[in-house]
Amino acid sequence: MLARVNSCAVLGIDAFPLSVEVDNVPGSNTIRMVGLPDAAVKESQDRVFTAMRNSGFYFPRGHVVISLAPGDMRKEGSAFDLPIAIATLGATRQLSSMRISDYALVGELALDGSIRPVPGALAMAICAKASHLRGLILPWQNAEEAGVVQGLEVIGANTLNEVVAFLKGEVDIPAQRTNVASLFTKARVNVPDFSEVKGQAHVKRALTVAAAGGHNILMVWRQCQIWHSGHNIFMLWPQCQPSNRGLQLERKQYPSRKSFVRRRIDHGRLFTKIATLF
């Protein structure tokens, strides 16, 4: 039986729609994966089938073909574990649900069936919305990041069994909605101000010019008032507001594992650590 699941893949800073197809037919017990998978993707079959067995599902018998389409683009990472598992359950008739075609799925599976976070959640959420899908099912650790995309149901899941139960309609997982404006407001509450710095006019001037023009700053002093001045630069930046343009900029600037919302909040601590190195 053939089963198809929607997913997304990250290529550079962009994400593109991906179709995971699994076909299970009688024959010798073999597994073949096609679609230009890298080493991490090829290893997913061991994680997926072990996670399925430990989650109470049976191992597929016969010849299994896993296709990652489009086949002319290289697939990287471990984010395809969850869609491969769901497609395999559909191909073996262990899962039958009309909701599968409405959602894109991404996530790495642990051997016990739990779902681990993956990079590029924001880009994949934008891709899922552009593909006119109803929602995106992904690890709960990535839900905050993907939840900033409006008009898309972001479903954060903990385990493979939870995803299966949601697709069957047995459980209801509330969609994640991230209040970006509230997070930025809370992050700026305890940010110090230049009024706390006495003197250091040349330092203030340099930081103001750098903040206005987006220039780099190199501080070559140890613990001193100049370090405190550098920490106050965050008060010079305007408060960011959520928008489609802002999401595109964040997606291009931060294609990494950590949520861009948390990165903005942690910038003050990061600056402190860098400044004290000199």
Q: pLDDT tens digits for the chain (278 residues)?
A: 899 999 999 988 889 999 999 999 998 889 999 999 999 898 998 999 999 999 999 988 899 999 999 999 999 999 999 999 999 999 999 998 889 999 999 999 999 999 999 999 989 999 999 999 999 999 999 999 899 888 999 999 999 999 999 999 999 999 998 887 776 666 555 556 667 677 777 777 887 888 788 788 777 665 555 555 555 565 565 555 555 555 555 555 544 444 444 444 344 333 333 333 33
**Number of DSSP helices (H) and strands (E) in the chain, helices first:** 11, 9
The predicted model scores a pTM of 0.74
**Inter-residue contact 97 to 172 (CB < 8 Å):** no
Among residues 146, 150, 123, the alpha carbon closest in space to that of 136 is found at: 146
Q: What is the pLDDT of residue 228?
A: 53
Distance CA 31, CA 26 (A): 12
**Inter-residue contact 17 to 51 (CB < 8 Å):** no
- 8: which strand partners? 17
What is the torsion angle, in degrees rounded to the nearest 10, for the CA atoms of residue 206, residue 212, residue 218 and residue 222? 60
Q: What domains appear along the chain, each with residue ranges and CATH number? A: 2-168 (3.30.230.10), 180-275 (no CATH)
Q: What is the pLDDT of residue 233?
A: 61
Distance CA 33, CA 200 (A): 63
Within the chain, residue ranges assigned H as helices are: 39-42, 44-54, 81-91, 121-130, 143-146, 160-168, 180-187, 201-213, 225-231, 244-253, 260-275
Report CA 76 to chain centroid distance, whole Å: 14
Indicate the angle between helix axes 260-275 and 180-187, nearest 10 degrees. Answer: 20
